[in-house]
Structure 1
Amino acid sequence: MQSHSITVDGIDMRWEETGAGDPLILIHGIPTCPALWREVAPRIEGRRVLAWEMPGYGASIPEGVDRDISIEAQAEYLAAWMRSLGIERAIVAAHDLGGGVAQIVAVRHPEMVAGLLLTNAICYDSWPVPLVDVVAKTGSIAKHAPDGAFHQLLKLMFSKGHETEEAAKAAFDAHGPHYARHGEAEAFVRQAQSLNVEDTKAIAYQLPKLGIPARIVWGEADDFQKIEYGERLASDLGAPLRRIEGGLHFTPEDHPQIIADEINALIRTVETDRAKAIPAESAV
């Protein structure tokens, strides 16, 4: 994937891109960046794949200083970025916090979202998880933690969220350096303190009204986002639920083929629905 950036409403926004065709947008969560999708993107069929980086995360951590980086705000940043690239409508696949962003965009800007895939995503009142909540509430202390303490916290999150230590190490190597370069604990505290569960609770009642193709993929053994929330999303969105037995939180890194298979299945559904709609529109 190739890195790109553009300034939108005074914010330097970054994304990774590969492929060609209609757009598919991938959204990461915390404490990750677009590299979360590094093994998924090459497996997507016939699409322009854009892995967007939320301002305040990854290489864009500096863009979060003195700026609202709540999930609700990120949804508006995403919509503005899409408009700046001339993307009128896209399929959106999202993980963790990115799932909350995707839900809000789909509700607030339904004309921009052609299909929705959510995997181990925040939703309803499922978040913030206890570990992140503690960091948010003890921010002033966490910022002055001893050297190396944040690295251990990050390693713990990846260890608890991946099925093997090898995968956890690969994730730390992919995402950890951004924190090391941009303030480490201070950056994570800023992210944690921006989180407000009301952002997803406020739009929850509108999810059943979306009426767009959707798919849910969930690691059944995830301690961060319980499977019951995946089941509720599947019910509200009228979507099939792909359960990953023994799967933990970071599904795009542990199970890239499964995630790609489900995204490709969603793409086919969207394309089929569009093909059916064309004759009806032509007859009007």
Structure 2
Amino acid sequence: METRSTMINGRRARWAEHGTGSPVVLVHGIPTSPRLWRHVMPLVDGKTLAWEMPGYGSSIPDGKDLDIGLSAQAEYLVEWIESLDLDEPPVLVGHDLGGGVAQIATVRAAERFAGLVLTNSVSYDSWPIPSVKAMQRVAPVLAVLPQLLMYPTFVQLIHRGHDDRNIALESLAEHWGPYVAQGAARSMMRQVSALNVQDTLDIADRLAALNLPARVVWGEADAFQKIKYGERLAADLGADLIRIPGGKHFTPEDHPQAIAAAINSLLTESRKD
């Protein structure tokens, strides 16, 4: 898995890349990075490009003076994809906030994508979740909290979102590091302060008209993004809902085979077309 970067309109764009063939763009959520997809990428029958949202992961410093809300992230995503000069439109895959970014991007520029895969994604009025809303209310205090006081909150979030305890521990090791390096409290404060449910509400009534091949994959036991939202997305997108019994929120880490299978089926469908 190769890490790459480039400058686009004065902004640093970073992503991880693996494989060859038809392109697949993967977008992470909070509090993760492209490393969320580390177990999915080797299973995909194509060229995977896991984009890092500005303000997240190793790009946390790049978000200090940027709008890092979902609507702006969708704009950055499309600009980055355009810069890649791909031979064919990519399949777009999103988890959590990244799923919201993917919805906005496809609504704005459906012709640039070959298909859409959403897994345990924010949508409609499903977010921010209560714990994030609480952090938004105390953001000024959050920004000056000692790092050690943030860690228990982070640990609880990760463990509540995983149904595989060993993978949860691995996930903690993967995703806490960038926050430590950049100041956990300040970094998370910037992220949660930028979240606005209006970004998905503004495009919700346009999802049914997308006319893009789609898959919706959902952990049925997700306490953060409830299965009813997966059902609604599947209905609006004209897609089957692929359920993961007992699956929780971080499906790309706990259930990479299910996510990769959905992506590969969409790639096969697009090749036939």
Q: How far off is 1:136 after superposition?
A: 1.3
2:10 is matched with 10
2:114 is paired with a residue whose SS is strand
Q: How far off is 1:164 after superposition?
A: 2.9
Write out the 4+ residue segments of structure 1 that deviate beyond 4 Å after TM superposition.
none
Do structure 1's residue 122 and structure 2's residue 102 form an aligned pair? no
Residues 8-62 of structure 1, C-alpha deviations (whole Å, 9 max, x = no match): 11111100001112210000000000000000000011x1110000000000000
Q: Please tell me the residue identity of whatever aligns with 2:71.
A: E
Q: Give TM-score, length-normalised by structure 1.
A: 0.94
2:177 is matched with 177
Distance 1:18 1:66 in 2: 30
Distance 1:271 1:4 in 2: 27
8 Å CA contact 1:118–1:215 kept in 2: the answer is yes
2:195 is matched with 195
1:278 is matched with none
Distance 2:242 2:260 in 1: 12
Q: Please tell me the residue identity of whatever aligns with 2:76.
A: Y
1:39 is paired with a residue whose SS is coil
Distance 1:81 1:43 in 2: 24
Residues 41-94 of structure 1, C-alpha deviations (whole Å, 9 max, x = no match): 00011x111000000000000010021000000000000001111136210111
1:219 is matched with 219
Matches within 5 A, 1:72-151: 72-87=71-86, 89-151=89-151
Matches within 5 A, 1:36-47: 36-45=36-45, 47=46
Q: Please tell me the residue identity of whatever aligns with 1:73.
A: A
Q: Please tell me the residue identity of whatever aligns with 1:262.
A: A
Q: How far off is 1:146 after superposition?
A: 3.6
Q: How far off is 1:143 after superposition?
A: 1.6
Q: Please tell me the residue identity of whatever aligns with 2:85.
A: G
1:48 is matched with 47
8 Å CA contact 1:105–1:113 kept in 2: the answer is no
Q: Give me the identity figure in percent.
A: 49
Distance 1:80 1:147 in 2: 34
Q: Structure 1 stretches of 5 or more lacking a match?
A: 275-284
2:256 is matched with 256
1:58 is matched with 57
Alpha-carbon spacing, 1:15–1:147, altered in 2? closer, same or farther (3 Å): closer
Distance 1:81 1:146 in 2: 35
1:279 is matched with none
Indicate the RMSD between aligned Cα atoms, in angstroms.
0.9
1:168 is matched with 168
8 Å CA contact 1:27–1:95 kept in 2: the answer is yes
2:12 is paired with a residue whose SS is strand
2:244 is matched with 244
Q: How far off is 1:145 after superposition?
A: 2.1
